[in-house]
Amino acid sequence: MAAAPFPGILAALTAAAAAFLVSALWFHARLRRLRRNLQVRESELVDLSERLRRHSEHLRLVIDTMPAYIYAKDDSGHFILVNRLFARIFGAAPEEVVGKTNEDYGATPEETARFIEEDREILRTGKPLFVPEERAPRPDGSPGWFQTTKIPYRHPDWEKPAILGVSVDITESKEQAEVLRRMAQHDALTGLPNRALFSELLGKALAVTRREKNKLALLYIDLDDFKPVNDSYGHAAGDTVLRETARRLERTLRESDGAGRIGGDEFTAFALGIGRTEDADAVAAKVRAAIAAPVDVGDAEISVTASVGAAVYPDDGTDEESLLRKADEAMYREKQERSRKRKPEG
């Protein structure tokens, strides 16, 4: 009788069970390692997410605290990012501006179309646009001056190309520059154009007169016996007389005419559109009459007269130098005649 196969089968089963157990233990160990790795990765992702959140908040804080107007727009003119200062122009929160256009906040369709065309040109060429100065409303609604730079930009969450713009408010520096420019070109006491600016204005007036084939009157004005005013009433009173003379001179002339103070008690003026030489004499007479009216200096009323010489373009000269010389000569002759008449006969 043959032996039963049971012992062999048992051995095979035992070996298979052992192999399965080893394999299970190996997979269990590997699973534990994978679980630990996943936990580490998850922790790293959580940490990375937190760092990205803090980084995003930091960037938002930076652009919101920068003294500049920062914004991004897509190629159809819709805002996709604005900082808090820029949003204040529209009286809104930054998130409320996203998705809107300039037209939503009062820009005309023409202005909006111009902005879009400008932005698309930047995207087409890839070249930044620098605008040294442009007028735009400030957050408080007052008009301001801004310096703007626009560059191509791609938002990480936005597939379409976009424009990033940064505008800096230069209103104060612009106003300071204007004050300095005015100080350099105007007489500090009277506010009239100084010699340099008057020469520039006269040059432009002569160009217009030549083009229109017309005449122009140039006046040279000198106050008579002005020194005694300072000696008798003080320099403050003298300054008042000079300022009032300037105001009267401006009121006598038309808006298209011009006047200047070239120093001391000497003034110049020009009048456009003179049809005849006699018209220049009429303007000079009006100037004399206006200046001769008494000036209230507080403690007294002071009356001064003025000698006024006139020259006419093109009769007396065709350039500034010749006209000023002729007007100065005419003024001097009048002053001499006035002085001669005041002398008592011996």
DSSP, residue by residue, 12-75: HHHHHHHHHHHHHHHHHHHHHHHHHHHHHHHHHHHHHHHHHHHHHHHHHHHHHHSSSEEEEEET
The confidence score (pLDDT) of residue 56 equals 59
- CB within 8 A of 100, min separation 6: which ones? 78, 79
Tell me the pLDDT tens digit for each residue of 47-103: 666 665 665 565 666 677 778 899 999 888 899 889 998 888 888 898 899 999 888
In whole angstroms, give the CA distance from residue 203 to residue 324. Answer: 12
**What one-character DSSP code corresponds to residue 157?**
T
- CB within 8 A of 166, min separation 6: which ones? 68, 69, 70, 148, 149, 150
Tell me the pLDDT tens digit for each residue of 12-57: 777 777 777 777 778 777 878 888 887 777 776 676 666 656 655 6
Residue 312's nearest CA partner among 217, 236, 234, 228 is 217
The confidence score (pLDDT) of residue 91 equals 86
62-66, 165-169, 251-255, 334-338: which has the minimum mean pLDDT?
Answer: 62-66
CATH 3.30.70.270 boundaries in the chain = 186-342
The confidence score (pLDDT) of residue 6 equals 66
In whole angstroms, give the CA distance from residue 213 to residue 314. Answer: 9
Looking at per-residue confidence, does 49 or 159 come out higher?
159
Tell me the CA distances in angstroms from 259 to 150, 192, 195, one per residue in order.
Answer: 44, 7, 10
Residue 2: pLDDT band with limits 50, 70, 90: low
In whole angstroms, give the CA distance from residue 305 to residue 334. Answer: 12
The confidence score (pLDDT) of residue 53 equals 61
The confidence score (pLDDT) of residue 65 equals 74
Residue 158 has pLDDT above 60, yes or no: yes
Q: Which two tokens stand for residue 205?
A: 């007036």
The confidence score (pLDDT) of residue 225 equals 83
In whole angstroms, give the CA distance from residue 343 to residue 346. Answer: 9
| Residue range 274-301: mean pLDDT, rounded | 90
The confidence score (pLDDT) of residue 337 equals 86
The confidence score (pLDDT) of residue 61 equals 67
64-175 architecture in CATH? Answer: 2-Layer Sandwich (3.30)
Evaluate whether 79 touches 101 at the Cβ level (below 8 Å).
yes
Of 3.30.70.270, 3.40.50.2000, 3.40.1160.10, 3.40.640.10, which CATH number belongs to 186-342?
3.30.70.270
* φ/ψ (deg, to 5) at 187: -65, 130
What is the reported pTM?
0.60
41-45, 269-273, 283-287: which has the minimum mean pLDDT?
Answer: 41-45
The confidence score (pLDDT) of residue 343 equals 64
Tell me the pLDDT tens digit for each residue of 214-247: 999 999 999 998 888 988 889 999 999 999 999 9
Evaluate whether 128 touches 120 at the Cβ level (below 8 Å).
no
CATH 3.30.450.20 boundaries in the chain = 64-175
Q: Which two tokens stand for residue 255?
A: 């808006």
Which residue type does 140 have? D
Residue 149: pLDDT band with limits 50, 70, 90: very high
How high does pLDDT run on average in the chain?
Answer: 86
